[in-house]
Amino acid sequence: MENIKNIASVFSELQAEICHNLELADGKAHFGSDKWKKEIGGGITRVIQDGNVIEKGAVNFSFVEGKLSERMEAVLGEKADNYAATGISSILHAKNPWVPTIHMNVRYFALDNGVSWFGGGIDLTPSIIVPEEARWFHEQLNEICDRSHPDYYSRFKKWADDYYFLPHRNETRGVGGIFFDRLKPDEDVDFEQLFGFVVAQAKSYPLIYSEFMKNSEKPYTEREKRWQSIRRGRYVEFNLVNDRGTKFGLESNGNTESILVSMPANASWEYNFSPEPGSQEEKTQELLKKDINWIGFKTN
């Protein structure tokens, strides 16, 4: 567990860098700073609201440590007395339905039994899927992954498809991205290379989203806002029903407000909603599937 304080220091600096770049891109709103502390540790929750582009967003940093409870052992599948964890988690929801929701997190988890690992990911959840934009997004992630290992993108893209999936809806949360967990040094990638990989992902996050923020000037209708609200409802469902990070955060007695700050400002659920045949909503629904090769996706 000796590395974790150094990693936490780097993550704390990255939080500030991410917030600064997003403020520049939004051009109006600024992140607040809410330091919190509990028996298990603390962190800084930074929230942005009512910007030119960003309706609600957060970039959270935390560093916690404590006793590993029996329920936490069951979740992790590990036996140990104590744990320590640090990470950054961010979510951004935009006003304009043509600007997608994006999520990113990087984390490091260590146990006093000598076991430790990196985890994280970045994924995109458009209300209205534009295949060319989904392809560009995956191209950026592919490039980041290839700098560290040629197999990372294919492995982590598949992992994201399987993880960001709502079984009760039989649909993906969005167009996926990359997701990884229990990532440890091996004969191909050492500790410093792994650390460099997660840092590169965090640094790329505001730069990637800045490109999507350019869609904020695109006009939209009330119908498109209604669809955005319905899609946000599915986002809430995933976070509360399926997301392991949310469950672990609440189980470990983390900061509840920080854990649930990922929720959009507004969402809706309409009973038995069905998109009109041939509509852009139906086309989006048809693309909420696993295993789409977005980099090789052909458009008409």
Q: What is the pLDDT of residues 240-278, one digit of tens each?
A: 998 877 877 777 777 788 788 889 999 999 999 999 999
| Cα distance between residue 158 and residue 203, in whole Å | 22
Q: Exposed, middle or buried: residue 278 (CB in 10 Å: 0-12, 13-18, 19+)? A: exposed
Q: Which CATH class is domain 4-286?
A: alpha beta
Backbone torsions φ then ψ of 193, nearest 5 degrees: -70, -40
Residues 6+ apart with CB under 8 A from 187: none
Two tokens, residue 4: 């974790």
> 2 pLDDT exceeds 70?
no
> 300 pLDDT exceeds 70?
no
Which tens digits make up the pLDDT trace of 134-162? 999 999 999 999 999 999 999 999 999 99
Domain boundaries defined on the chain? 4-286
Residues annotated as catalytic (active site), given as ranges: 103
Instruction: Give the pLDDT confidence score for residue 85 in this predicted structure.
Output: 92
Instruction: Give the pLDDT confidence score for residue 179 in this predicted structure.
Output: 97
Q: What average pLDDT does this structure show over 112-138?
A: 95
> 16 pLDDT exceeds 80?
yes
Instruction: Give the pLDDT confidence score for residue 70 in this predicted structure.
Output: 79
| Cα distance between residue 262 and residue 56, in whole Å | 9
Which tens digits make up the pLDDT trace of 177-223? 999 999 999 888 999 999 999 999 999 999 999 999 999 999 999 99
Binning pLDDT at 50, 70 and 90, where does residue 80 land?
confident
Instruction: Give the pLDDT confidence score for residue 1 in this predicted structure.
Output: 60
| Cα distance between residue 152 and residue 18, in whole Å | 24
Binning pLDDT at 50, 70 and 90, where does residue 298 land?
confident
| Cα distance between residue 74 and residue 85, in whole Å | 17
> 164 pLDDT exceeds 70?
yes
